[in-house]
Amino acid sequence: MKTLPVNPENSSVQLHPLIDQLTKAYLPQAVKQSSFIINDVTPGFSLTIHEQTLAHVLGNLIGQVVKVTNNGCIRVYAEDQGKFVQIGFKDIMMAHHEPLLLQNLPGLFEALKKLGGNISIDEKVPNGTIISVTFPCDKQAA
């Protein structure tokens, strides 16, 4: 599987192992809050993007979602949306936390801008909240 980087800083990033790596740091806090994290990214799903910047964005978001989730399941997923890749965090127990989610995210919006990405928060009471980031980039699914 070969992709052509958009610029020299970009590389093909496997999302499943990256999400595994990022969530490990937050598992103790999630367990303490009676929550758990499911990495539902399809193994082999990759995209061409700046890996360190992507890890910064996703790590900050995972940390914030865990911080505001109690007694819940956090599902992390990725979807191919044509010219974009959407990476989402869904929690069926989290609702009315948008202000908390957007606080204390050092450099998140600058990093998203660097990647050409956007963030959205969709609250569907009582079904929970979906936080998603969308990036225009080359992507591949196994």
Task: DSSP letter for 92, please.
Answer: S
Q: What pLDDT sits at residue 6?
A: 44
Spatial neighbors of 82 by CB under 8 A, at least 6 apart, are none
- Enter the pTM of the model: 0.80
What pLDDT, in 10s, does the model give residues 13-64? 999 999 999 999 999 999 999 999 999 999 999 988 999 999 989 998 898 8
If one compares 140 and 11, the residue with the highest pLDDT of the two is: 11
How far apart are the C-alpha atoms of 126 and 115, rounded to whole Å? 32
Residue from 39, 89, 41, 36 nearest 64 by CA: 89
What pLDDT, in 10s, does the model give residues 63-106? 888 888 888 889 999 998 888 899 988 876 655 555 555 665 66
How far apart are the C-alpha atoms of 107 and 14, rounded to whole Å? 23
Q: What pLDDT sits at residue 98?
A: 56
Residue ranges and CATH numbers for the domains of the chain are 11-140 (3.30.565.10)
Q: What is the mean pLDDT of residues 117-131?
A: 78
How far apart are the C-alpha atoms of 115 and 22, rounded to whole Å? 19
